[in-house]
């Protein structure tokens, strides 16, 4: 599972909750971190994205739209969140 949120504490809390349930979780605190992860190796079944990413060149909806057209992740579930 990949969590994308600009608030580090939210990323940590979501990661903790999901990890306790047995999921492997990675998080990115910005669009730039997401791109860095995506370029390395995108192997996620679920992507949770915050709707509003402060101080970012792209917002959550932009990331979801990018992922919809990505061959590597077309089967992954994409979920847009608003905290």
Query: So what's the pLDDT on residue 64?
Result: 86
Q: Which residues contact 48 (CB under 8 A, 6 or more apart)?
A: 1, 2, 3, 4, 5, 14, 79, 81
* Residue 63 DSSP label: H
Query: So what's the pLDDT on residue 37?
Result: 81
Query: So what's the pLDDT on residue 63?
Result: 87
pLDDT tens, position by position, 21-80: 999 999 999 888 888 887 667 678 899 999 998 888 888 989 888 887 766 666 788 888
Tokens encoding 60: 């959550």
pTM of the full structure? 0.85
Residue 12 or residue 68, greater confidence:
12
Instruction: Name the helix (H) or strand (E) containing 64.
Output: helix 60-68
């Amino acid at each position: 599972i990949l969590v994308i949120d600009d608030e580090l504490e939210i990323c940590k809390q979501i990661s903790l909750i999901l990890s306790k349930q047995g999921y492997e979780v990675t998080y990115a605190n910005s669009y730039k971190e997401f791109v860095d992860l995506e370029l390395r190796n995108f192997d996620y079944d679920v992507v949770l994205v915050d709707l509003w990413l402060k101080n970012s060149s792209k917002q959550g909806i932009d990331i979801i739209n990018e992922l919809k057209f990505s061959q590597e992740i077309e089967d992954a579930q994409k979920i847009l969140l608003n905290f």
